């Protein structure tokens, strides 16, 4: 009798290059097999060589731990060095898509590395794309550093695709394509806004506002250093707790008529575990005074993204906001934004829908929302079971 040994399906290691940390996550048979986070020291700012050095040191330790398998990696570039821009181009078979996008990008000392997300606009005289532009030298420096460690970089992406892929399990039905979701990833270095209908991205925008900009503003007001300002700001609210999935999703007062209750998972009661409703209540307006201009700038940019979406697709609405990124752990910040936008809001935690391998000790507290792991979770899930997808 021949014995057939079962081989596990180990996916590439997903790497999320953030402003304040690097996150690694690997899936095996669609279950979490290993995770770790590599923190950047305070004050490193945008020192590329220092960041690359920490990446190499952290990856060397992670690979040496024996928890991660294989040598293949896929990388998500950080928001602070990515430009996202919606473009309408001429629909022509002779058009060079890359050259057409470059012509619409702002000038830079570096060369742009561009990728396009095609937007379905059948019947339109224009070709709608989301241009994803990254400085070529920055991308190649990170790839070179990983190659130096003997790692095989099988993909480099911007934020939009993994942001949406992280919630593919929420949008798996045909009718989910009728729901408009604005994903807002608020990190320390910047914010990425993506509007999708179901799993299909239709709008994206880079916003140069993040946690560090709030800290800079607060430091000036309190006359303290940035590190102390951040400690002060984070202490305003505990890390967002997990909300029981049976808790209904409340729409803020003043939301559009007809918004009502939004039940995201109609296959059962309540919302799915990976989407926690933003709690209603006070927005702490008295404490937000010093950083109100920064939050106002962020909210204005999000409104602009919604308005551009409505101008392009007037018969389609944005129904909800899903927050991800490190700053989404601050309940008061998410609450303030959704009440300003008059939309239903939730904190995304896709790790809640992922099962760990038996015996795996998770570094993250499952009793707390983990929106800062959403992007790397989406990046890892893009590699599984034929769901690998990319942009042109």
What tens digit of pLDDT does each residue of 304-339 get? 999 999 998 899 999 999 999 999 999 889 999 999
What is the spatial distance between Cα 80 and Cα 86, in angstroms, rounded to a whole number? 18
Specify the range with the lowest mean pLDDT, choosing from 44-48, 101-105, 257-261, 291-295: 257-261
pLDDT(384) > 80: no
Q: Span 277-301, mean pLDDT?
A: 77
CA dihedral 92, 93, 94, 96 (to 10 degrees): 80
pLDDT, tens only, 36-59: 999 999 888 889 999 999 999 999
In the chain, the N- to C-terminal Cα span, in Å, equals 48
241: β partners: 368
pLDDT(254) > 50: no
What pLDDT score does 155 carry? Answer: 95
The residues, any chain, with a CB within 8 Å of residue 370's CB and separated by 6 or more, are 349, 351, 352, 364
> What is the percentage of the chain residues whose pLDDT exceeds 90?
60
Among candidate residues 223, 228, 172, 218, the one with its CA nearest the CA of residue 333: 218
DSSP 8-state symbol, 368: B
Q: 260: helix, coil or strand?
A: coil
What is the spatial distance between Cα 12 and Cα 68, in angstroms, rounded to a whole number? 9
pLDDT(4) > 50: no
Q: Answer yes or no: are the C-beta atoms of 319 and 344 closer than 8 Å.
A: yes
CA dihedral 131, 194, 349, 227 (to 10 degrees): 80
Handedness of CA 289, 292, 294, 295 (dihedral sign): positive
> What is the percentage of the chain residues whose pLDDT exceeds 70?
81
What pLDDT score does 358 carry? Answer: 80
191: β partners: 186, 207
DSSP 8-state symbol, 288: H
What pLDDT score does 151 carry? Answer: 97
Please give the residue that has the higher pLDDT: either 356 or 288.
356
What pLDDT score does 392 carry? Answer: 52
What is the spatial distance between Cα 154 and Cα 28, in angstroms, rounded to a whole number? 17
Q: Span 130-136, mean pLDDT?
A: 96
By CB atoms closer than 10 A (0-12, 13-18, 19+), residue 290 is: middle
Looking at the chain, how many residues does it have? 392
pLDDT, tens only, 212-246: 999 999 999 889 998 898 888 888 754 445 543 32
The residues, any chain, with a CB within 8 Å of residue 194's CB and separated by 6 or more, are 159, 160, 163, 164, 182, 183, 185, 201, 203, 204
What pLDDT score does 44 carry? Answer: 86
Per the listing, tokens 């939004």 go with 262
Q: Which domains does the chain have, with CATH numbers?
A: 13-381 (3.30.420.40)
Q: Answer yes or no: are the C-beta atoms of 44 and 152 closer than 8 Å.
A: no
Among candidate residues 154, 158, 161, the one with its CA nearest the CA of residue 133: 158
Please give the residue that has the higher pLDDT: either 336 or 392.
336
């Amino acid at each position: 009798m021949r014995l057939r040994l079962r081989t596990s399906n180990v996916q590439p290691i997903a790497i999320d290059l953030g402003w304040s940390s690097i996150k690694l996550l690997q899936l095996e048979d669609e279950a979490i097999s290993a995770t770790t986070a590599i923190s950047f020291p305070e004050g490193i700012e945008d020192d590329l060589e220092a960041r690359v050095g920490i990446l190499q040191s952290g990856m060397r330790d992670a690979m040496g731990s024996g928890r991660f398998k294989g040598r293949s990696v896929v990388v998500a570039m950080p928001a602070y060095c990515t430009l996202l821009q919606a473009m309408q181009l001429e629909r022509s078979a002779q058009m060079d898509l890359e050259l057409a996008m470059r012509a619409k990008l702002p000038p830079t000392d570096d060369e742009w590395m561009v990728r396009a997300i095609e937007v379905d606009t059948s019947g339109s005289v224009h070709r709608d794309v989301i241009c994803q532009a990254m400085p070529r030298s920055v991308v190649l420096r990170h790839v070179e550093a990983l190659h130096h460690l003997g790692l095989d970089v099988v993909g480099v992406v911007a934020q939009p695709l993994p942001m949406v892929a992280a919630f593919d399990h929420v949008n798996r039905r045909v009718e989910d394509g009728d729901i408009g979701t604005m994903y807002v990833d608020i990190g320390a270095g910047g914010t990425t806004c993506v509007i999708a209908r179901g799993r299909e991205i239709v709008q994206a925008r880079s916003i140069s506002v993040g946690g560090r900009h709030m800290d800079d503003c607060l430091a000036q007001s309190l006359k303290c250093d940035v590190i102390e300002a951040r400690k002060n700001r984070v202490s305003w609210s505990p890390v967002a707790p997990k909300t029981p999935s049976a808790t209904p999703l409340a729409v803020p007062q003043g939301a559009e008529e007809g918004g009502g209750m939004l039940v995201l998972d109609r296959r059962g009661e309540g919302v799915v575990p990976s989407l926690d409703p933003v709690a209603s209540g006070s927005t702490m307006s008295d404490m937000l005074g010093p950083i109100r201009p920064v939050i106002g700038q962020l909210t204005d940019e999000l409104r602009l993204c919604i308005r551009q979406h409505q101008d392009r697709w007037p018969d389609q609405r944005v129904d909800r906001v899903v927050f991800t990124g490190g700053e989404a752990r601050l309940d008061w910040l998410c609450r303030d934004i959704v009440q300003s936008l008059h939309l239903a809001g939730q904190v995304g935690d896709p790790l809640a829908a992922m099962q760990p391998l038996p015996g795996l000790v998770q570094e993250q507290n499952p009793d707390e929302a983990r929106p800062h792991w959403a992007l790397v979770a989406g990046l890892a899930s893009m590699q599984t079971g034929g769901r690998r997808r990319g942009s042109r």
